[in-house]
């Protein structure tokens, strides 16, 4: 099953969409009262309309797997609203990440900073359009962070029981992603090092910036909202981190070899953006002297042509790096999924988490 079909089970996708629509509508009303135009809210509405809803789904099905009942409307509402908070936090992270990476597209549409730069040019406003676009995108990301915080706080304030553990997980997740963003900036700015050092840096960034907040923390949040005990929370961490890392490694492969009509980003954009991934580190480790020079000199060049990108993709395949990363994905995901399969989690939550885990590491977008 695909991630999209899995999200339709128990109406999770539609419920999360309603939570997000309500959050954006509340922001629109509030911003209008300050005299602001609709540009920020319109862009946020378009951004959150896309996305796989994977984090929200993992949170929900972890809650179900740890004893949450579909018929407990009040508790289910709390979990779904926390799922909405996760999606809004991701929206903020994506907007800010696109500014830092100078990305052109996101989910098949112009990245927020490109959209606002285009608005500036269309209106013939004064000043540099690109700087306006970057500034407006930063403000948009901040707005999404505010919406995420409100959704999370409101959800827990309406709960029948305290959720101190969930608050701690959500707080740690946000801090960790910000730290991961900074680590990523530093890693991209540092001089090239030995391949093993490059891989260690890349995996540190992956764990902090993406792996935990994509899988581990949503799983742990769902369990915490079900008031699961220490053993259940540890299980979420035990399986969530390797699955999250495998998820991001798949993302790195798709960023170079994915189908643009499916991924929503031009093929090879990660090469033009200069992302130093595990894939690149594995290629450097296997390449000869001349090939390493071609990789390091080409990575991050915004003027790479379609032919340049194809030549680099061919080189990455020839070094065996693509195969090596596929093997690493399997090494991470297989034991984690096996651990889930034999865990004492409740059905249908356990099966749904297994299906979501498989789909997330084998996806094509």
The domain limits of the chain are 3-361
CA of residue 42 relative to chain centroid, distance: 21
Tokens of 109: 């549409």
Handedness of CA 202, 208, 210, 214 (dihedral sign): positive
Helix (H, G, I), strand (E, B) or coil at 110: strand
Instruction: Work out the angle at residue 213's Cα, subtended by the Cα atoms of residues 185 and 255, and round it to the nearest 5 degrees.
Output: 60
Can you give the pLDDT at residue 293? 94
Which contiguous run of DSSP H or E holds residue 105?
strand 105-106
Given its phi and psi angles, is residue 243 left (phi above 0), alpha (psi -120 to 50 degrees) or beta? alpha
Residues 6+ apart with CB under 8 A from 54: 3, 214, 218, 356, 360
The structure tokens 């993406």 sit at: 210
Give me the torsion for CA of 153, 156, 162, 168, rounded to 10°. -50
262, 364 Cβ separation under 8 angstroms:
yes
Tokens of 305: 């042509």
Instruction: Work out the angle at residue 109's Cα, subtended by the Cα atoms of residues 106 and 112, and round it to the nearest 5 degrees.
Output: 65
The CA-atom distances, in angstroms, between 36 and each of 28, 48, 128, 323 are 9, 20, 21, 51
The structure tokens 């902090």 sit at: 208
Instruction: Work out the angle at residue 172's Cα, subtended by the Cα atoms of residues 24 and 247, and round it to the nearest 5 degrees.
Output: 75
- From the list 123, 119, 145, the residue with the least C-alpha distance to 133 is 119
Residues 6+ apart with CB under 8 A from 177: 89, 93, 208, 209, 213
Residue 106: DSSP 8-state: E
* The domain made up of 3-361 is a member of CATH 3.40.50.10470: no
Helix (H, G, I), strand (E, B) or coil at 245: helix
Per-residue pLDDT of the chain (365 residues; tens, 9 = 90+): 778 889 999 999 999 999 999 999 999 999 999 998 899 999 999 999 888 899 999 999 999 999 999 999 999 999 999 999 999 999 999 999 999 988 888 887 899 999 999 999 999 999 999 999 999 999 999 999 999 999 999 999 978 888 999 999 999 999 999 999 999 999 989 999 999 999 999 999 999 999 999 999 999 999 999 999 999 999 999 999 999 999 999 999 998 998 887 777 777 888 998 899 999 999 999 999 999 999 999 998 988 999 999 999 999 999 999 999 999 999 999 999 999 999 999 999 999 999 999 999 998 77
Tokens of 243: 């699955």
Helix (H, G, I), strand (E, B) or coil at 310: helix
Euclidean distance between CA atoms 97 and 14, whole angstroms: 27
Give me the torsion for CA of 331, 333, 339, 343, rounded to 10°. 180
211, 286 Cβ separation under 8 angstroms:
no
Euclidean distance between CA atoms 95 and 76, whole angstroms: 29
Which contiguous run of DSSP H or E holds residue 113?
helix 112-123
Can you give the pLDDT at residue 287? 96
Residues 6+ apart with CB under 8 A from 249: 206, 278, 279, 325, 328, 329, 332
| Cross-strand pairs, 105 | 110
Helix orientation angle between 73-101 and 217-225, rounded to the nearest 10 degrees? 160
Q: What is the pTM of this model?
A: 0.95
């Amino acid at each position: 099953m695909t991630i999209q079909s899995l999200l339709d089970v128990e109406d999770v996708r539609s419920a999360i969409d309603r939570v997000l629509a309500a959050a954006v509508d509340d922001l629109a009303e509030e911003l209008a009262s300050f005299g602001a135009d609709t540009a920020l809210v319109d862009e946020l509405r378009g951004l959150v309309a896309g996305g796989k809803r994977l984090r929200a789904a993992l949170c929900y099905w972890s809650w179900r797997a740890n004893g949450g009942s579909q018929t407990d409307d009040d508790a289910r509402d709390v979990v779904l609203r926390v799922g909405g908070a996760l999606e809004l936090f991701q929206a903020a992270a994506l907007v800010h990440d696109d500014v830092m990476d100078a990305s052109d597209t996101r989910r098949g549409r112009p990245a927020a900073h490109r959209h606002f730069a285009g608005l500036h040019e269309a209106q013939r406003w004064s000043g540099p359009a690109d700087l306006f676009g970057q500034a407006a995108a930063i403000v948009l990301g901040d707005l999404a962070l505010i919406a995420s915080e409100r959704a999370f706080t409101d959800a827990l304030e309406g709960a029948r029981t305290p959720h101190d553990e969930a608050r701690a997980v959500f707080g740690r997740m946000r801090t960790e992603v910000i730290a991961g963003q900074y680590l990523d900036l530093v890693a991209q700015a540092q001089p090239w090092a030995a391949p093993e050092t490059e891989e260690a840096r890349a995996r540190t960034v992956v764990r902090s910036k993406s792996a935990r907040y994509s899988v581990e923390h949503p799983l742990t949040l769902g369990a915490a909202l079900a008031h699961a005990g220490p053993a259940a929370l540890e299980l979420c961490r035990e399986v969530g981190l390797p699955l999250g890392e495998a998820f991001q490694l798949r993302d790195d492969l798709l960023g170079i070899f994915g189908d643009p009509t499916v991924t929503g980003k031009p093929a090879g954009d990660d090469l033009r953006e200069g992302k130093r991934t595990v894939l690149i580190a594995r290629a450097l480790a296997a390449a000869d002297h001349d090939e390493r020079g071609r990789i390091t000199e080409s990575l991050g060049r915004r003027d790479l042509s379609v032919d340049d990108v194809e030549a680099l993709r061919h080189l990455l395949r020839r070094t065996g790096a693509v195969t090596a990363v596929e093997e690493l994905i399997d090494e991470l995901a297989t034991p984690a999924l096996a651990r889930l399969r034999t865990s004492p989690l409740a059905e249908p939550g356990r099966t749904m988490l297994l299906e979501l885990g498989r789909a997330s590491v084998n996806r094509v977008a």
